[in-house]
Amino acid sequence: MSAVDRKQNALVVDDLHVHYFSPRGSIIAANGVSFSLRKGEILGLVGESGCGKTTVAMAILRMIQPPGRIVHGQIRIDGQDIVGLSERAMRKVRWQELALVPQGAMNSLNPVTRIREQMGDAITTHEAVSREQLRERILKLMTDVGLPERVISMYPHELSGGMKQRVCIAMSIALNPKVIIADEPTSALDVVVQRVVAQTLLDVKERLGVSMVLIGHDMGLQAQLVDRIAVMYAGNLVEVAPVIAAFENPLHPYTQILIESIPSIKERKPLKVTEGITHDLRNPPPGCIFQFRCMWVEQKCRESAPPMMEMADNHFVACWQYPERYESTKTQSDLTLENS
Ligand SMILES: Nc1ncnc2c1ncn2[C@@H]1O[C@H](COP(=O)(O)OP(=O)(O)OP(=O)(O)O)[C@@H](O)[C@H]1O
Ligand SMILES: [Mg+2]
């Protein structure tokens, strides 16, 4: 990886641990998550429900609520660690550097306020602008996300799901952030509208040159949108790879299952069901996190956790199936440190 590449990280998450504390033990929702987001790229974050995707997103924005807490790790934006920042300093970083399209965003629009006021509030909370400038800014944002001007005078209930979601995207880019975290921005929308919203995200990325973490379940959509993909299982990243490599040559058994589960009309086959269930996140097993569901499990997997190993250029996997490369390679954590 060249020195130029090192400078091009918009965001680095390094060994992030997030726990939700409960009387019956801590839920380990992020367990040493490390990845970097390069400037101008879209990184997909995928994994089954409850694996910790939203937790990682909220941690990046420092918005984990009690009983949750970041217990360890660094989150660097343009080289600056934000984990230790005061809440006041963090408020500036949020929105101006980072923006979130939260999971279920369209349902969080205020039902009794017109779009114009909601967007205006998002801007005037952070910037002093005249009424006229504000109107111009809001209209420009509407154009950026492909919505007609009249939408600004409407209430959320007058908009379709796709339009509401595009309003949320417009709000997320209102202050020109460098990084957008979009948490399942297309779920709960029909397939056609999903594509429209996905295209809106792509347009926004291209036009504003932002970098994006795109969280989702839909592997088909991820294949079309993202540059690299990070696969998460039970609080751990298990594979990080350029999207073509991940789909053509998935290495981790869990990634293979995710890809095999993409339906195809050409080749109808029985739906693949993964045996076993995810362990209790309060009590992760020693060894590999995927051992209870893995078809390749062996003794070593029960004893020690495989580190992230670089198997090909930028293709990382945590699996003891590929041990021979371990000694000769660097871990993902080493690389994020180097790249920051
Ligand atoms: N406030 C909370 N208190 C306790 N546990 C929580 C809390 N929020 C999340 N968790 C737990 O942390 C784990 C990760 O949750 P998270 O919402 O990050 O998953 P996710 O991957 O975003 O799931 P989904 O795809 O359903 O949105 C889950 O086991 C969840 O039950
Ligand atoms: Mg979630």
Give the nearest ligand 1 atom to 57 CA. Answer: 18
Rounded to whole angstroms, the Cα distance separating 211 from 332 reads 20
Instruction: Tell whether the model's pLDDT for residue 6 goes beyond 70.
Output: no
49 lines ligand 1 (CB under 6 A): yes
Q: What is the pLDDT of residue 289?
A: 96
Domain that holds residue 22: 3-87+224-339
- Asked if residue 204 is part of any domain, the answer here is no
Cα(183) to centroid of ligand 2, in Å? 7
Handedness of CA 85, 89, 93, 99 (dihedral sign): positive
Q: What is the pLDDT of residue 2?
A: 36
Q: What is the pLDDT of residue 261?
A: 81
- Asked if residue 177 is part of any domain, the answer here is no
Q: What is the pLDDT of residue 338?
A: 47
- Asked if residue 203 is part of any domain, the answer here is no
Rounded to whole angstroms, the Cα distance separating 302 from 291 reads 7
Give the nearest ligand 1 atom to 65 CA. Answer: 1
Q: What is the pLDDT of residue 5?
A: 45
Per the DSSP assignment, residues forming a β-bridge with 251 are: none
Q: What is the pLDDT of residue 265?
A: 73
Residue 234 CB contacts under 8 Å (≥ 6 apart), including other chains: 31, 51, 52, 278, 279, 281, 284, 289, 290
Q: What is the pLDDT of residue 57?
A: 97
- Asked if residue 104 is part of any domain, the answer here is no
What DSSP element (H or E) covers 228?
A: strand 228-233
Q: Which of 148-157, 231-240, 329-338 has the lowest mean pLDDT?
A: 329-338
Cα(29) to centroid of ligand 1, in Å? 7
Task: Give the pLDDT band (50/70/90) at residue 105.
Answer: confident
Task: Give the pLDDT band (50/70/90) at residue 292.
Answer: very high
Which tens digit of pLDDT belongs to each residue from 296-327? Answer: 999 999 999 999 999 999 999 999 998 655 44
Cα(33) to centroid of ligand 2, in Å? 16
Task: Give mean pLDDT, residues 97-116.
Answer: 91
Give the nearest ligand 1 atom to 47 CA. Answer: 21
Count of domains observed in the chain:
1
- Percent of the chain predicted with pLDDT > 90: 74
Which tens digit of pLDDT belongs to each residue from 33-48? Answer: 999 999 999 999 999 9
Rounded to whole angstroms, the Cα distance separating 52 from 67 reads 15
Task: Give the pLDDT band (50/70/90) at residue 272.
Answer: low
Task: Give the pLDDT band (50/70/90) at residue 339.
Answer: very low
- Asked if residue 168 is part of any domain, the answer here is no
Residue 311 CB contacts under 8 Å (≥ 6 apart), including other chains: 251, 317, 322, 325, 329
Full DSSP string of 243-302: HHHHHHS--SHHHHHHHHTS--SSS--PPP---S-PPPTTSPPSS-TTGGG-TT--HHHH
Q: What is the pLDDT of residue 304?
A: 95
Mutate which of 51, 214, 233 to test ligand 1's pocket (most atoms within 8 Å of Cβ)? 51
Task: Give the pLDDT band (50/70/90) at residue 276.
Answer: confident
Per the DSSP assignment, residues forming a β-bridge with 14 are: 74
2 lines ligand 1 (CB under 6 A): no
Cα(80) to centroid of ligand 2, in Å? 26
- Percent of the chain predicted with pLDDT > 70: 91
Q: What is the pLDDT of residue 217?
A: 83
Pairing between strand 211-216 and 42-46? parallel
The residue type found at 258 is L
- Asked if residue 140 is part of any domain, the answer here is no
Q: What is the pLDDT of residue 94?
A: 85
Write phi, then psi, for 131 (nearest 5 degrees).
-55, -45
Cα(52) to centroid of ligand 2, in Å? 7
Instruction: Tell whether the model's pLDDT for residue 117 goes beyond 90.
Output: yes
- Asked if residue 102 is part of any domain, the answer here is no
Rounded to whole angstroms, the Cα distance separating 119 from 164 reads 12
Instruction: Give the CATH number for residue 71.
Output: 3.40.50.300
- Asked if residue 175 is part of any domain, the answer here is no
Rounded to whole angstroms, the Cα distance separating 144 from 255 reads 34
Which ligand is nearest the CA of 64, by number? 1
52 lines ligand 1 (CB under 6 A): yes
What DSSP designation does 157 have? G
Q: Which of 102-106, 168-172, 288-292 has the lowest mean pLDDT?
A: 102-106
- CB count, 10 Å around CB of 247? 17
Task: Give mean pLDDT, residues 192-202.
Answer: 89
Instruction: Tell whether the model's pLDDT for residue 328 goes beyond 50.
Output: no
Q: What is the pLDDT of residue 7?
A: 53
